[in-house]
Amino acid sequence: MKEKILLIWDRIGDYHAARFLALEKKYGAGNVLIADLGAADLLYKWKNPLSQRAEYQALSDRPVEEKDSAARLAAFKKLVKTHNIRIAGIAGYGRPEYRNMLLWCRMNGVRVVLFAETWYPGKLDSLKGLFLRFTCRGFLVSGQRAKEHFSSYLGLDEQKIRLPYSVVDNGHFAQVSPDYENRKILCLARFSPEKNLLNLIKAYRLSGISEQGWSLDLVGGGPMKDELEKESGNGIQLRDWVSYGELPSLYASAGVFILPSSFEPWGLVVNEAMAAGLPVLVSEECGCAPDLVPEKNFRFPAGDPTALAGVLKKIAGMEPSERKATGERNRNRIAGFSPEAWADAFLALASK
């Protein structure tokens, strides 16, 4: 009989469901359970596609942003004991709920694989490393920057660190092919300061590519919407967030994708755009840059709108056939960042 696995995230959305389903397919139906910290989230308002599955449980009826640590830990313990869970995948250690779960698992013989995207050095890294060495069996991280952070800054054994963690259902986004004649630059990002959208607007204007028929489409919604509307103008369109089912068509409507963030642990929208077959431009602050966009001519410093304007000019000057070749190369590259690859890495760590 196989050991039972429990996966836990803050709030289950389509990205997490894709990982769960890939692991379930490889490991066997009924052997994998999934839970989240709350029945809702106030930020993204994700719809849980697994909410009717018997394998799913919410650990609290409160939104994940609300404190309910004791109840969540109690529900976690009950779930583990009821189903005799021997392996757990836990989404980080920043929340007190997760730290409590990690300690409880260590004391009760449950092997833990930690999920992580972080690659920024911080205070008390050596102490964090000690805590994680004590509580975790392995670490499933987003990419090379996160792997280096966990090995160099936290002092963890490289043999216990694997990737990829940050994956999407590539097939979902490859349903429709882009029109590479299209002169639309798409940015799908929450309208918040760390997404660096004001600099993107400034760079778009500096580049002058609007005179060649290139437009800029910002999709996301968020707290900076009014400010961005004031700064937008000719060639710039703002839209609120679209549903998961609408995303393939949204990507197919563009000719280029860009993520200009000044702070971005990974950037799953880059995975999506690459799976859709788009050329992508990313700032150096996107955690995915070394893994997904190794070509320096498609990257730019987040705080330099003049440099970004130059990158925009270059992409606008490419022939449609060049953009198509770049998009096809991106599709091939992102194939290695799939839910199936995630499931393989998880099982390899869990078995050690």
Q: What is the largest CA-CA distance in the chain?
A: 65
Phi, psi of 320 (to 5 degrees): -50, -35
Comparing C-alpha atoms, which of 62, 64, 52, 61 is closest to residue 9? 64
pLDDT at 45: 78
Residues 293, 297: Cα–Cα separation, whole Å: 9
pTM equals 0.96
If one counts every other C-beta atom within 10 angstroms of the C-beta of residue 35, the result is 21
Distance CA(101)–CA(112), nearest Å, equals 10
What parts of the chain have a pLDDT lower than 50? none
Calpha distance 289→295 (Å, rounded) = 9
Distance of CA 59 to the CA centre of its chain: 23
Distance CA 309, CA 323 (A): 18
Q: Kindly list the structural domains of the chain, giving each domain's residue range(s) and its CATH number in brackets, ordered by start.
A: 4-167+337-350 (3.40.50.2000), 171-334 (3.40.50.2000)
Order of strands, sheet of 85-90, starting from the edge strand that comes earlier in the sequence: 56-58, 32-36, 4-9, 85-90, 111-116, 138-141, 161-162
Q: According to the model, what pLDDT value does residue 302 have?
A: 97
How far apart (Å, rounded) are the C-alpha atoms in residues 157 and 48?
35
Give 31-58 pLDDT, tens digit per residue.
Answer: 999 999 998 888 877 789 999 999 999 9
Per-residue model confidence (pLDDT) at position 310: 97
User: Model confidence over 301-315: pLDDT tens digits?
Assistant: 999 999 999 999 999
What pLDDT is stored for residue 301 in this prediction?
98
Nearest to 268 by CA among 249, 252, 244, 296: 244
